[in-house]
Amino acid sequence: MIGRLNHVAIAVPDLEAAAAQYRDTLGAEVGAPQDEPEHGVTVVFITLPNTKVELLYPLGDNSPIAGFLEKNPSGGIHHICYEVQDIRDAAAKLTASGARVLGDGEPKIGAHGKPVLFLHPKDFTGTLVELEQV
Ligand code: CO
């Protein structure tokens, strides 16, 4: 069901420093920060030859990653995103197998303008999994 790894998202306590490290130390192609108010994050996209890394930094008062950074003050891997062809079909199969889709279970439009949903980390070996329809 899942296809390519679309991205790995890393929550960071200092977006400027993390972006500079990927650009200057690791020599990666690093984009400009983008505010995503509806997701409560500012994102820097890092484009690698085979996938992307997204640096996430809290935006606004109710950012979904604020609590994560409180527990992980130096940052950490927040979620991984796999591509699927049909997100509703994927959600139906996963729900039928007992996995929990977060929120109201309906796909939302993600940071790339495509439908996404998140799966409960306790159902996937402690990893928050995002599915993105491509
Ligand atoms: Co993501």
Ligand 1 center–CA 116 separation, angstroms: 8
User: For the segment 89-121, what is each residue's pLDDT rounded down to a tens digit?
Assistant: 999 999 999 999 998 888 988 878 899 999 999
> What range does the domain containing 12 cover?
5-133
Q: Whose structure tokens read 């402690």? A: 126
Task: Report CA(98)–ligand 1 centroid distance (Å).
Answer: 22
**pLDDT tens for each residue of 31-85:** 999 999 888 999 999 999 999 999 999 999 889 899 999 999 999 999 999 999 9
CA distances from 103 to 6, 7, 68, 116 (A): 21, 21, 17, 12
Q: In total, how many domains does the chain have?
A: 1
**pLDDT score of 1:** 92
What is this structure's pTM?
A: 0.92
Model pLDDT, residue 39: 86
Q: Is 130 a catalytic residue?
A: yes
CATH of the domain at 85: 3.10.180.10
The catalytic position among 16, 29, 36, 130 is: 130
